[in-house]
Amino acid sequence: MANLPLIQQQLIRYGMTLYLALGLVGNICNCIMFTNHSYQRTPTSIYFLTFSIFAIIYLIWSLAPYIDSINHIDPQKLSLFYCKTRLYGAHTLGLYLRYIIVFASADRFFATQINVRIRSLSSISLAIKLIIIMFIVCPLIAIHMPILMTIQDGVCGMFGLYQLIYAIYQTIVIGTVPPILMSIFSILTIRTLYQRHRAQVHAIRRDRYLMRLVMAEVIANISISIPYSINLIYGAVTYYNVKNTQRRQIEAFITFITQFLLYIIGVVPFYLFLLTSKPFRNEFLTMLIKCWDKYILRRVRIVPLNVENNTTSNNR
């Protein structure tokens, strides 16, 4: 058990640093891709673009302080305001990421419907309205955190009865509602696509590709959320059990691991899209080739000409 804190420290030092680097690169690439003219006119691209922007903020806000605390004193152990602000901000940004994917999966369901009224719900204007509503509602849902959190014995967190209430709240808001909604919309969409295929009514190719992106993200979210949800439920059920020091250390380490895995939500989308969607992969490679030709090869061609001109002038 003595090795658990050391393992946790190494995971923070190397694992979270890798998360941050891969996440920033991937989400910046996503922002570039989803502002491309071929994606601009779909609600799903609006959701993915918003997701990528929030994911960049989420990773910097959540992981950078962890990494910095390895070599410096963690400010959240000393400042109650910083303690409340940091955890409240990270939790709210995490809610944004999950519910944006819920909206994206709902949009794919609307977009595949034969009924014109339902299909009209897949619109950029509705996507923008839902994002604005989410931007306001999520902080309000989590407002209890900065009110009830505190610092005890140098630890910033939830204590007493609020610890149990927070575990139940997390189980519902993060571990239950988003995965269930994602699953429902995804199953209904697959069912609709199957029925349309049988009726020989084909979805637009771009819609099918976007559906593949959404499905990859939904599967990743649900898979990552399962260990965290199980741990939350276990913590709530065993809250009043008497636990020795060794058991508390093991449980604290398992909680850290489930939270560590949870950060992958903000890291993997771009790499999932590359793996699961050939059109996305081809468009990204085309963009890289254009950038290479425009900013690298052109400079390589220009520099020798300048050198040659200078040499000629000097000879004269």
Domain of 70, in residue numbers: 14-283
Position 5 scores a pLDDT of 79
Could you tell me the pTM of the whole model? 0.85
Position 66 scores a pLDDT of 85
pLDDT band at 302 (very low <50, low <70, confident <90, very high): low
Q: What H or E segment, with its residue span, contains residue 150?
A: strand 150-152
- Domain contains 168: yes
- Domain contains 112: yes
73-82, 143-152, 260-269: which range is least confident on average? Answer: 73-82
Residues 27-51: b if buried by 16+ CB within 10 A, e if exposed: bebbbebbeeeebeebbbbbbbbbb
Place of tokens 């913590």: 235
- Domain contains 115: yes
- Residue 205 DSSP code: H
pLDDT band at 206 (very low <50, low <70, confident <90, very high): low
Q: How many CB atoms lie within 10 A of CB 171?
A: 19
- Domain contains 313: no
Is the predicted pLDDT of residue 78 greater than 90, yes or no? no
- Domain contains 314: no
Average pLDDT for 124-138: 94
- Domain contains 33: yes
Average pLDDT for 148-167: 84
pLDDT in tens, 52-73: 999 999 999 999 888 888 887 8
pLDDT in tens, 93-118: 999 999 999 999 999 889 888 888 88
Position 97 scores a pLDDT of 94
195-204, 222-231, 295-304: which range is least confident on average? Answer: 195-204
Position 154 scores a pLDDT of 78
Tell me the C-alpha distance between 26 and 286, whole Å: 16
- Domain contains 24: yes
Q: How many CB atoms lie within 10 A of CB 72?
A: 9
The residues, ordered by sequence, that sit 6+ positions from 221 with a Cβ below 8 Å of its Cβ are 98, 101, 178, 179, 182, 265
* 130: CATH: 1.20.1070.10
Tell me the C-alpha distance between 196 and 71, whole Å: 58
pLDDT band at 200 (very low <50, low <70, confident <90, very high): very low
Position 1 scores a pLDDT of 60
pLDDT in tens, 276-288: 888 888 888 888 8
- Domain contains 122: yes
Average predicted confidence (pLDDT) for the chain: 83
Position 25 scores a pLDDT of 95
Q: How many domains does the chain have?
A: 1
Is the predicted pLDDT of residue 38 greater than 70, yes or no? no
Position 142 scores a pLDDT of 93
pLDDT in tens, 209-229: 777 788 888 888 888 888 888
Position 9 scores a pLDDT of 84
